[in-house]
Structure 1
Amino acid sequence: MKKLTVSRQVATKIKQGQSLLEKEDFESLPALDQPVQLLAGDGHSLGVGYLSEQNKGIGWFVSSEPLSFDLAFFQELFTRAKSYRSSYYSDASTTAFRLFNQEGDGFGGFTVDLYGEFVVFSWYNPYVFQIKETILAAFQAVFPEVRGAYEKIRFKGVEYESAFVYGEEAPKEFFILENGVSYQVFLNDGLMTGIFLDQHEVRASLVDGLAAGKSLLNMFSYTAAFSVAAAMGGAVQTTSVDLAKRSRELSEAHFVANGLALDDHRFVVMDVFDYYKYAKRHELSYDVIVIDPPSFARNKKRTFSVAKDYHRLVSEALEILNPGGILILSTNAANVNKEKFKKQIEKGFQGRKHRYLATYGLPADFRWNKKEESSNYLKVFTIKVDV
């Protein structure tokens, strides 16, 4: 195993429990996509990790103990991960959740999500992809009940995005349960699956009646999962807005699966900022507005960045929110911490009175490194706007 000496600053970071390795942590890097033993300046071993470039950082520190990334190692990781999620397995109302979440479960660089009897592996860098057969073998030993597996490639350099990996193939489209609500998913169609599992606690608040008797506007709606949850929780009317043409078809499928008539539920294919203008022009207003944009987006008219532009979404929403209404404001931007996100929100309110009713981060199945705040990327605030 390649030995690599790091600075005192990096050694301190590792000893404090942080696991993400970055380019600036090293004066010079050896060849990537290999395991490394990290040494302090005095030659003392800090432990083992690996180097491989991904969307954040250049590698991961894994353990202060000497070990190999072999079958036994991954079997132990998966055994612990499975035990940790025993409460999810015993909940008949939910059949989809995260089984393994990168550094939160002891090894950064890949995730595993359960969708009913099937799983999806997401590979985030070339090294984990390189050792995937070992990872898959260990997983099958610990999760023999899983009928089939798929993979998503979330780094550059591989010609495909999605593929069937082992076992039985899942139906092209099928339904999972979350909080007793049915959602249609698809496991082998690009990088998406039809639902973002990390939002299940926020959707639970809607199923539990946060929007009961109210109208709801769902911006950047994707497959309208928030809208379906709200409707199942008693919302009398929902409007789901997304620029992707396919969003309408996928959204309607969720409603039909739950026996919800479409009469009081609208699906609009439109740019969000254009819809704000449309709503004001037609004097439309809503009791609850959900805003969950991508971290960065670009279309023919404009670019959008959570770090710089989220406040515009808030200020525009306030203009079409009914008196005493509720905003559910969300971002998964890892580069925007909770304080920065809150500043964007407050900038949008421009001094208007409001109260924070609830705050959400990643749910328990999305384990994250408590020593590394950036690994808890999800930030959601439920806010009541005072009359």
Structure 2
Amino acid sequence: MSARILLNPGREKSLLRRHPWIFSKAIQKVIGKPMSGETIDIYDSKGNWIAKGAWSPNSQIRVRVWSFDQNEPIDADFFLRRIEKAKLTRQKTIADGGLTGYRLIAGESDYLPGITIDVYNDIISCQLLSAGAEFHRYHILSALETLYPNASIYDRSDVDVRKKEGLELSKGWVSEPLASTETEILEHGLKIKVDVEKGHKTGFYLDQRDSRFATGRYAKDKEILNCFCYTGTFSLHCANAGAKSVDNVDVSATALDLAKQNHQLNGFDSDNIRFIKDDVFKLLRRYRDEGKQYDMIILDPPKFAESKAQLKGACRGYKDINMLAMQLLKPGGYLFTFSCSGLMDAGLFQKIVADAALDARREGKIIERLQQAADHPIALSYPEGYYLKGLICQID
């Protein structure tokens, strides 16, 4: 008989709502000696079977659920079925956007906890971030080789969260290596260079695709400041829509160099597209003091809060940059502002932006809300899957 756990009384409630996590304090008893990542059965305190999941003895999330079907084995066919289903559900999104870069597996929201898989043209970039994902590494990679026989697979499991699972960091080719870790993807007709070895996350921020496209609806004839620009992809959509000028700001010279390459790749190599290496906070203050103004400002900062302990400081950071941006906007100007911190809920983020308007002595209104792209779904049973919040505000 396989290893199993009994839950404390009442701790089955979240599982009955199909939430996939079981925390260590919810467990009353472990029966057997499961190894890290092994599939175990989950029972409530009365001995009723509920689900089966991956055992993770080093993590506060002690079990991540694979299936709520007692008769479904967690084997090679299981992972092939789940990944194939995820691929099929994304076909409309891929076709509508003319995409060659997209998220194939979004972890718990695709019912594969701890697994992130992105497709970048001829390269598939994977993050296996949980004990269960690592335990089934061979099955996952075999499924990808079956479904994408012409793609090469790169492992980007070099994320610190693996340490919480008792796993070492892992990075590199897991299939026949290509000559380069760089490739090119298409997004709404625009070409974008991606480096799966050096790029952020699995290589690129696919989740902001819809937001990038949205900027094009407002950018025509506008003077735009694109903050935390990374590889300049918001700027591509602005330039493509006929922006008068775009100032791209980032602290990374490497990112700015790739941003220049992306613009050249699409024929947007002009004096009106500028690339500025600077600290955004300092630059915004300097521009404010100089009386500089823009028609449109994009704020897409990195995650400010990695833990609850950092949330208070993150709130101050978000408020500061939004206040400064509002002071730089011309009356009637547009502010595109984002938070990718999962710990920052949408209501709190809106309050921070509202407080920033008060401090900036400006009036503003939300005219659109934005979130992660459709290939980054949010399972109804897993609200934590909603992490990217965006507001388009018009500032008076």
Is the pair's TM-score, using the shorter chain for normalization, greater than 0.5?
yes
Residue 229 in 1 paired to residue 230 in 2?
A: no
Going from structure 1 to structure 2, the CA distance change for 1:190 and 1:26 (only over 3 Å counts) comes to farther
Task: Report the more deviating stretch, 92-101 or 252-261.
Answer: 92-101
Name the CA distance, whole Å, in 2 between partners of 1:160 and 1:96. Answer: 25
> Residue 214 of structure 1: which of 215, 218, 222 is its match?
222
Contact 2:223/2:295 (<8 A) preserved: yes
Amino acid paired to 2:45: G
Name the CA distance, whole Å, in 2 between partners of 1:32 and 1:71. Answer: 18
Going from structure 1 to structure 2, the CA distance change for 1:86 and 1:273 (only over 3 Å counts) comes to same
Corresponding position of 1:44: 48
Name the CA distance, whole Å, in 2 between partners of 1:12 and 1:86. Answer: 34
Contact 2:4/2:41 (<8 A) preserved: yes
* Structure 1 segment 156-171 matched on structure 2, within 5 A: 156=163, 161-167=170-176, 169=178, 171=180
Corresponding position of 2:134: 129
SS at match of 1:275: helix
Amino acid paired to 1:197: L
Cα offsets for 1:4-58 (capped at 9, x unmatched): 1113432111111211333343357776433221111110011111133799844
Seq. identity, %: 24
Going from structure 1 to structure 2, the CA distance change for 1:151 and 1:239 (only over 3 Å counts) comes to same
SS at match of 1:90: helix
Name the CA distance, whole Å, in 2 between partners of 1:214 and 1:54. Answer: 52
Contact 2:116/2:128 (<8 A) preserved: yes
Name the CA distance, whole Å, in 1 between partners of 2:312 and 2:341. Answer: 12
Name the CA distance, whole Å, in 2 between partners of 1:337 and 1:180. Answer: 33
Corresponding position of 2:84: 79
How far 1:192 sits from its partner (Å)? 4.4
Corresponding position of 1:140: 145
Going from structure 1 to structure 2, the CA distance change for 1:58 and 1:243 (only over 3 Å counts) comes to farther
Amino acid paired to 1:60: R
Aligned alpha-carbon RMSD (Å): 2.5
> Residue 199 of structure 1: which of 204, 208, 226 is its match?
208
Amino acid paired to 2:285: K
Task: Report the more deviating stretch, 261-270 or 113-122.
Answer: 261-270
Task: Report the more deviating stretch, 124-133 or 336-345.
Answer: 124-133
Contact 1:183/1:225 (<8 A) preserved: yes
Amino acid paired to 1:379: K
Corresponding position of 1:360: 370
Corresponding position of 1:377: 387
> Residue 65 of structure 1: which of 58, 66, 69 is its match?
69
Contact 1:122/1:152 (<8 A) preserved: yes
> Residue 288 of structure 1: which of 289, 292, 296 is its match?
296
How far 1:367 sits from its partner (Å)? 2.0
Name the CA distance, whole Å, in 2 between partners of 1:55 and 1:315. Answer: 39
> Residue 273 of structure 2: which of 265, 282, 292 is its match?
265
Name the CA distance, whole Å, in 2 between partners of 1:304 and 1:275. Answer: 23
- Relative to the length of structure 2, the TM-score reads 0.88
* Structure 1 segment 84-103 matched on structure 2, within 5 A: 84-91=89-96, 93-103=98-108
> Residue 276 of structure 1: which of 276, 281, 284 is its match?
284
Corresponding position of 1:248: 256
Going from structure 1 to structure 2, the CA distance change for 1:239 and 1:28 (only over 3 Å counts) comes to farther
Task: Report the more deviating stretch, 254-263 or 163-172.
Answer: 163-172
Contact 1:238/1:265 (<8 A) preserved: yes
Going from structure 1 to structure 2, the CA distance change for 1:322 and 1:134 (only over 3 Å counts) comes to same
Residue 111 in 1 paired to residue 120 in 2?
A: no
Contact 1:20/1:60 (<8 A) preserved: yes
Name the CA distance, whole Å, in 2 between partners of 1:165 and 1:295. Answer: 29
SS at match of 1:317: helix
Cα offsets for 1:110-145 (capped at 9, x unmatched): 11111112211112123312321111112222333x
Amino acid paired to 1:5: L
| 5+ long unaligned stretches in structure 2 | none
Amino acid paired to 2:55: L
How far 1:89 sits from its partner (Å)? 4.2
Name the CA distance, whole Å, in 1 between partners of 2:198 and 2:327. Answer: 37
| 5+ long unaligned stretches in structure 1 | none
How far 1:370 sits from its partner (Å)? 1.4
Going from structure 1 to structure 2, the CA distance change for 1:190 and 1:181 (only over 3 Å counts) comes to closer
Task: Report the more deviating stretch, 194-203 or 5-14.
Answer: 5-14
Name the CA distance, whole Å, in 2 between partners of 1:151 and 1:377. Answer: 23
Corresponding position of 1:184: 193
Name the CA distance, whole Å, in 2 between partners of 1:119 and 1:213. Answer: 38
Corresponding position of 2:5: 4
Cα offsets for 1:269-328 (capped at 9, x unmatched): 111111012212332211111111122389xxxx99434431111111111111101111
Contact 1:148/1:170 (<8 A) preserved: no
Corresponding position of 2:39: 35
How far 1:267 sits from its partner (Å)? 1.4
Contact 1:161/1:191 (<8 A) preserved: no
Name the CA distance, whole Å, in 1 between partners of 2:247 and 2:58. Answer: 37
Amino acid paired to 2:14: K
How far 1:91 sits from its partner (Å)? 4.3
Name the CA distance, whole Å, in 2 between partners of 1:139 and 1:373. Answer: 27
How far 1:170 sits from its partner (Å)? 5.8
Task: Report the more deviating stretch, 309-318 or 165-174.
Answer: 165-174
